[in-house]
Structure formats: C-alpha cells, structure tokens
Amino acid sequence: MRIDIRAADSADIPAVCGVINDAWRVCYSGILPDETIERYAERREESLEKLFSDGGMMYVLECDRTVRAVCTAVRCSVGRYRGYADIVQLYVAPEERHKGHGRKLLSYTLRSLREKGYKNAVLYCLEKNAAARRIYEKFGFEFVKNEESGAFPDTQISVYTIEL
C-alpha cells in the first residue's frame, strides 16, 4: 500500500467530508446526540470551503490515492492563543484507525506549521473523547484546562497546547 501526505486543495473537499463524517459517527457516538452529528455532517462541505477561503490549511493522508485521514489548521487571531496555529480537525477513516495514520499526519502538519513560522499550536478536544486525548498527550501536547463548549451544550472541551 502506498501512503502519501500532502497539502489538500478544494478539489479534496468531497473526500475529506466523507472521512470526517464517518469519523464523527464512530468517535462521537454516545458523546454527542446523533442529530447533532448529522446536523454538522450536512454543513461540513460549507465549513471546509470557508476554511479555505479564510486562509486555513488542510493536509490529507492518502492510501493508494484515496483520502483516508485529514488534519486542518487555522491561525488564532484573538484571545489567549493569538498567533498560535489552531489544529481544528484530525480525523482518520474508521476502517483505517490504529494503523498510525493519525500520528503520521499530525507530525507532518506540525512540521509544516513550524516551517510556516508558527511557534505554538493549540487544539480543543471533547473531554469525553478519551482515545483522542491519549493520542494528543502521547504526542507531547500539554493539557491546559477543561472548559464549557460554546457549540455543544453540557459538554466539556479539553484544551491542549504544544511548542513547535
């Protein structure tokens, strides 16, 4: 199997939507209501197009030329993390989990952000998503705090940072 990692472009949006939507259905089942998961899926393409139009960055990992993982980032422009890279999304297709694809893609993304001049990155993770939190902590992200989610009622978000 051939694995490639590269910067994505807008032509990748349909494939990326499929990966993210499938990952949400698996990763957030039992954490978020199903109707919330599906509501976000319906708006996924629009949100990814906005990410590109706002200067966001997207990287994909392909297995035999099929997108199997995605990582997106934007520049934080306000608040405590102003100037940090915000890792907005890191998702792996459910059937490709536990193969190291997420680790490879996150490593590539952080290296790319460092090359773009970022010194630090921040990410927000659902506090109940223990598997993702373990991955970030093993990777070297430092837990900062839990806070209430602005998007999901009665949900805690864990904040992590890393020096690049």
Q: Taking all residues of the chain, what is their mean pLDDT, rounded to a whole number?
A: 96
Q: What is the pLDDT, as a whole number, of residue 78?
A: 84
Q: State yes or no: pLDDT of 83 exceeds 90.
A: yes
How far apart, in whole angstroms, are the C-alpha atoms of residue 30 and residue 16? Answer: 23
- In this prediction, residues 86-108 reach a mean pLDDT of 96
Q: Residues of the chain with pLDDT > 70: what percent?
A: 100
Residue 32 pLDDT level (bands cut at 50, 70, 90): very high
Query: Residue 76 phi/psi, 5° resolution?
Result: -70, 130
**118-153 pLDDT tens trace:** 999 999 999 999 999 999 999 999 999 999 999 998
Give all domains of the chain, ordered by start, each with its CATH number: 3-163 (3.40.630.30)
Above 90 in pLDDT, residue 74? yes
Kind and range of the H or E element at 61? strand 57-63
Global confidence as pTM: 0.94
pLDDT score for 1 = 87
CA distance 82 to 3: 34
